[in-house]
């Protein structure tokens, strides 16, 4: 339970940092690190989902939202008894973190639907 509480605090600190007028990031990398510490199987599944979407389409935002959607589903599947004292806080955290990541990407999703979202491009050495 304490690990989940610390994870929530870390995620909140990333999303709403006091020193940046409560304007932070989207929480994907922070949530991923926390999830790997809490349930490495769910973390690997979310990473796999991220790669499966990112590699062919090159949209980081779409890959991040896909990983967020997969995360609570895999958490449910990988725990034999979801509501045992040891597992329910992790399940709640994964669901809450997934919701926050999707919510923080709402502008990216709007741009995707309009066809205005930028794709990620790998740079070659020596190119500008």
> What averages of pLDDT result for each successive group of 10 residues across the chain (128 residues)?
94 94 93 95 95 97 98 85 68 95 97 96 70
In a domain, 97, yes or no: yes
In a domain, 94, yes or no: yes
Domain range for 101 is 2-114
In a domain, 121, yes or no: no
Q: What is the pTM of this model?
A: 0.87
In a domain, 108, yes or no: yes
In a domain, 43, yes or no: yes
Task: Select from 85, 83, 87 the least CA-distant residue to 42.
Answer: 87
Distance of CA 22 to the CA centre of its chain: 19
Q: How many domains does the chain have?
A: 1
In a domain, 80, yes or no: yes
């Amino acid at each position: 339970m304490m690990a989940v509480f610390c994870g929530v605090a870390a995620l909140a600190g990333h999303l709403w940092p006091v020193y940046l007028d409560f304007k932070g990031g989207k929480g994907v990398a922070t949530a991923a690190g926390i999830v790997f510490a809490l349930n490495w199987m769910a973390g690997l599944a979310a990473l796999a989902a991220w790669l499966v979407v990112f590699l062919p389409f090159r949209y980081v935002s779409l890959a991040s939202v896909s990983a967020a959607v997969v995360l609570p589903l895999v958490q449910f599947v990988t725990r034999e008894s979801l509501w045992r004292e040891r597992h329910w806080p992790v399940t709640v955290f994964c669901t809450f973190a997934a919701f926050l990541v999707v919510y923080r990407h709402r502008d990216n999703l709007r741009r995707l639907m309009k066809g205005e979202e930028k794709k990620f491009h790998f740079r070659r050495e020596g190119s500008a």
